[in-house]
Amino acid sequence: MLKLLAVVRGFVCACGFVWLWAWVVTSVRPLDARLGLDLPVWLQVPGLLLAIVGAVIDLWCVGAFALVGQGTPAPFDAPREFVGVGLYRYVRNPMYLGAIAVISGAGLMLRSPSAVAVAGLFALLAHAFALLHEEPALERRFGESYRRYKASVNRWLPRRPRRAV
């Protein structure tokens, strides 16, 4: 029952983030006319595929947060247990990478340079947030086990995990 509750909380939280980023992408589209840039039509299909891949990544991560971590991506309902399984074995921030893919893909699909720029801005904000807040907070909370994890898994570039020294 607790796992089901965690999954429901994770799903609700994920829907909230999707709504937020959909609103942001929609809100910046009027800027496209001012930029005077047109994205080619052929980018719509790759954009759709990129958005789908990003959504699958994010759903996978939300599931891991709910089932393993017993929490959600929201800071007010963070996982209670450390999540270093699934995609987190290959990269420390797969959920951010998935979100960047969704936002970029939506921008390409909508042929909106402003939305693509939002993806770039989100990437910079995610990097700053991970570096300045999340990682120090995880080190304080999980100590040596998180430091070992950090030493063996890249922050942004996925790769096979290496053994911590």
* Per-residue pLDDT tens listing for the chain (165 residues): 667 777 787 778 777 777 888 888 888 888 888 888 889 999 999 999 999 999 899 888 888 888 888 877 777 777 888 888 889 999 999 999 999 999 999 999 999 999 999 999 999 999 999 999 999 999 998 899 899 999 999 999 988 866 654
The answer to whether 53 touches 87, Cβ cutoff 8 Å, is: no
Nearest residue to 80 via CA among 65, 94, 92: 65
Burial of 85 (0-12, 13-18, 19+ CB in 10 A): exposed
**What pLDDT sits at residue 92?**
93
**What pLDDT sits at residue 2?**
67
**What pLDDT sits at residue 50?**
96
The answer to whether 152 touches 65, Cβ cutoff 8 Å, is: no
Q: pTM of the prediction?
A: 0.86
**What pLDDT sits at residue 163?**
63
103 contact partners, CB below 8 Å, separation of at least 6:
21, 25, 54, 115, 118, 119, 122
Which domains are delineated in the chain?
2-152 (1.20.120.1630)
What values do phi and psi take at 84, rounded to 5? -130, 30
